[in-house]
Amino acid sequence: MSDILKMCKTVVSSLRKKTFCQMYPFQPAKFHTHTRGHIKLDAAKCILCTLCAKRCPTGALEVDRVKGYWQINRYKCIMCIECVHACPVKPVKALTTEQQYAPPMAKMENERFDVEIKKPAAAPKVAAADAP
């Protein structure tokens, strides 16, 4: 008879403990330091170098230097974080990883961020007396 009642001890002890299930999304989710949620762009820091789009293995990113925008297809993004590693902006990168998952989308569309095209600083003029 005791063979059939092996499960009783676990069942009785779990009746006394609080529930293991977490009522997400009504309660906030618990994340860890390295959790990869979604990619976020800081448009003020982006210099439109297109290195992230070249490195992306699935082709989820599109960067246009002429029209001035950075666009991501959230469905193609596999969260490999290669774009974050490739971003050359110093001291703080323009691309960061957020821990919360991307918000749900009702339509399949790309998410576009407009980026201001920054002109490089003008080269200093050489004085006429110094020219050979």
Partner 1 sequence: MPKRTVIPFGPHHPVLPEPIHLDLVLEDEKVVEAIPNIGFIHRGLELLCEKKPFQDMVLVAERICGICSLVHGIGFVNGVEKIMNLQVPERAELLRVFWSEMSRIHSHLLWLGLAADAIGFESLFMHSWRVRELVLDIFEETTGGRVIFDAIKVGGVKKNISKETLGRILKQLDKIEEEYKQIADVFVNDFTIAHRWSGVGVLTKEQAELLGAVGPCARASGINFDVRMIKYGGYDKISMEPIVETAGDCYARALVRVREVYQSLDQVRQAISKMPEGGEVEVKVTGFPTGEYFSRVEQPRGEVIYYVKGNGTKFLDRFRVRTPTFANVGPLVQMLAGCDLADVPAIVLAIDPCISCTER
Binding stretches for partner 1 (CB under 8 A): 3-4, 6-7, 9-11, 14, 20, 31-36, 57, 78-81
Work out how close the CB of 13 gets to partner 1 at its nearest, in angstroms, rounded to a whole number. 9
72: left (phi over 0), alpha (psi -120 to 50) or beta: beta
Question: How would DSSP label each residue in 91-111?
Answer: SS-SEEEESSPPPP-SS---E
* CB nearer partner 1, residue 49 or residue 80: 80
* CB nearer partner 1, residue 5 or residue 123: 5
Query: By the 8 A CB rule, do 89 and 52 touch?
Result: no
Work out how close the CB of 104 gets to partner 1 at its nearest, in angstroms, rounded to a whole number. 19
